Amino acid sequence: MSIRVKNNIYWVGKIDWELRKFHGDEYSTHRGSTYNSYLIKEEKSAIFDTVWAPFAEEYVRNLSLEIELNKIDYVIAPHAEIDHSGALPLLMSHIPDTPIYCTKNGIRSLKGHYHKEVNVKLFNLAKTDKNDVITEIFKSKAILMGSPTINRGILVSVAGILEEIKGLQFKNKKAAAFGCYGWSGESAKIISENLISAGFELADDGVKVMWNPDNENVSKCLEYGKLFAGKVRT
């Protein structure tokens, strides 16, 4: 379905009558929503925004009825959030050489959202064999290490691994720290300092959260993870 907005501008988005919640369960939308994507057919043809990922196939199918996909000259991505850009990977798989226009922050954000080459492995340092963890660190491009603050310090399991990798002095690896805390919150800083002396390049100051993270802080950590993934790739 498409709607001619004006002149050579067409709406090629999706009306989602079923949607009731978005941004997880955070916001309500009692009567569904639209994902607005526009096709501009001027001297050059451009797509402005796409739709939410579950509708990607339908979107690309409909779009190809409006324009031959390889006739699209530019894709403009003003938002990286998945309700705007979810169909972008599928669209780009059809037209991989078409340039995407977005802001500098947009590049980082899109990379964080979609770059499939970031393969993440998660280890509990108190439970996983420390030699296995060290082997995985050796094979990794970057690591995130975390601990709660305990007695103004870090967990012994984390301290132990840091002590071991300090001796190994791995090269060309990025890292950052994270941690929860109750009042003083030294853990992320201590881990960061240890990572530097173990030869890692710090990506940034990491992320810390007071007590157990609430929904807002979980979102903050997710965003941080994407940002970190973007930095690791550059």
- Is residue 152 a contact point for ligand FMN (CB under 6 A)? yes
Query: Minimum Å distance from CB 214 to ligand FMN?
Result: 12
CB of 220 to ligand FMN, least distance (A): 15
Q: Taking CB under 6 A as the rule, does residue 27 contact ligand FMN?
A: no
Q: Is 17 in the site for ligand FMN (CB under 6 A)?
A: no
The Cα 116–Cα 203 span in angstroms is: 20
Quick one: which of 35, 114, 39, 38 has its CA closest to 80?
114
Question: How many chain residues touch ligand FMN (CB under 6 A)?
Answer: 13
Structure tokens at 184: 């003083």
Rule CB under 6 A: choose which of 180, 188, 203, 207 binds ligand FMN: 180
Strand 21-22, strand 27-28: pairing: antiparallel
Contact 176, 141 (CB under 8 A): no
Please name the helix (run of DSSP H) or strand (run of DSSP E) that holds residue 6, with its range, or none. Answer: strand 3-6
Contact status: 124 vs ligand FMN (CB under 6 A): no
Distance in Å, CB of 221 to ligand FMN, minimum: 13
Candidates 54, 89, 185, 199; binder of ligand FMN (CB under 6 A) is: 185
Closest approach, Cβ 106 to ligand FMN, in A, equals 34
Give the number of other Cβ atoms within 10 Å of residue 129's Cβ: 9
Q: Which of 117, 67, 126 is nearest to 95 (CA)?
A: 67
Can you give the binding site for ligand FMN, defined by CB under 6 A?
Answer: 148-152, 180-185, 211-212
